[in-house]
Structure 1
């Protein structure tokens, strides 16, 4: 697996590099709080250092969390974050690995699925749907592409403005630009369509700040 983040520096850069970071993650956590049982089983795909799971833990303190990631170094940071919490488990697995034993009440991911090719995204959405309980929810905080080239330029300018206004060190933004070369972003409409095609009954974008969005999909019979 290609390591494009230093786990020791990952958390501290999130708010500087991601516009509306708190709104995105709090919206994801709120969707889970309102959709799953208090002691529900939740899977965090490509969990990294556990930032999204931490936001969910704040609103669902009794939930059972399983964090998966392809990087042992990232998961080591997550283990430190949840040290002593016996309801949190960890497993090495990337986004193309089989989803762990199912079913789950919720599956979530934060700023990771855009690394998959588009057919890989569609395949993952199908597998996520099949791994959810009836009534379960999938929530994704994601980096997206503009609907056309002109709007994508606007997305990029908005992103640049945020980074500059947050006083991100120039070398960190330069490194961020390098990492973005690995991104395979899809526009929001396509992703919502793929979720419907995967079998989800209801899909919605909960919040969006230009290039960054939080969307959700519910499995209902």
Structure 2
């Protein structure tokens, strides 16, 4: 098991990589995510709340790409965006400069002392940077942060359940990325970011969601290793 210093060093590398790519992050998304439209579209569609002005926490918010889709669905929502990369959040601030209902937090969401509750907690392509114990702890934290009937949606990537499947997932992604029209430099940078990822198996993550207290924990979408995970807080459920 990696020590605290090693984990912190790994997060620093992640922060540096995303600081470096902040300005061009969004323009490459459709080329790096072969299932882009379904991946984000389904994540937004399943995050339902009856509140007209829900409080939404986006963890690992980056440039605010996922949050932008949620703003279209919930224009009166109050958003809190947290990310370890200040430069990524700077892009989000520019994107949402006309929206006064957005709060920005620069910090490690795995350690951040949140002081309020939320109706929706959302995330995309971020939690896989955490170690497995950190993922387990984060799912428990998210459960506690949600109001009753709150929803958690995580659009992320997972580890194949066998080495063969995992290699198949990676090989398929690389073939599609290399045929996408991205520059060799952009592809190299994407591969370097991949080396920092800490994917966990899908079934393990579903188990962690349920152990954290979520009901209806499920994978509602899967395209190779791109998945959309769902969990609902209902303390009255049997």
CA contact (8 A) 1:38 1:62 kept: yes
Note the C-alpha offset of 1:123: 0.3
Note the C-alpha offset of 1:64: 0.8
TM-score by length of 1: 0.96
The structure 1 segments of at least 4 consecutive aligned residues displaced by more than 6 Å after TM superposition are none
Q: Per the alignment, in what secondary structure is the counterpart of residue 49 of structure 2?
A: coil
TM-score by length of 2: 0.89
Superposed CA deviations along residues 119-167 of structure 1, whole A, max 9, x for unmatched, are 0000000000011011001111101110010001110122012213322
Moved more, 204-213 or 95-104: 95-104
Note the C-alpha offset of 1:99: 4.7
Residue 96 (structure 2) pairs with residue 82 (structure 1): yes
- Of the candidates 191, 211, 229, which is equivalent to residue 197 of structure 1? 211
Superposed CA deviations along residues 148-190 of structure 1, whole A, max 9, x for unmatched, are 1000111012201221332222221121111111111001111
**Gap runs ≥5 in structure 2:** 1-11
What's the Cα RMSD here? Answer: 1.2
Q: How many residue pairs are counted as aligned between the two chains?
A: 220
Moved more, 146-155 or 205-214: 205-214
- Of the candidates 32, 37, 55, which is equivalent to residue 22 of structure 1? 37
CA contact (8 A) 1:95 1:113 kept: no
Q: Which residue of 1 aligns with 2:76?
A: 62
Q: Which residue of 2 aligns with 1:211?
A: 225
Q: Per the alignment, in what secondary structure is the counterpart of residue 203 of structure 1?
A: strand
CA contact (8 A) 1:19 1:212 kept: no
Counterpart Cα distance in 2 of 1:52 and 1:60: 12
Q: Which residue of 1 aligns with 2:17?
A: 4
Note the C-alpha offset of 1:89: 1.2
Counterpart Cα distance in 1 of 2:42 and 2:71: 13
**Gap runs ≥5 in structure 1:** none
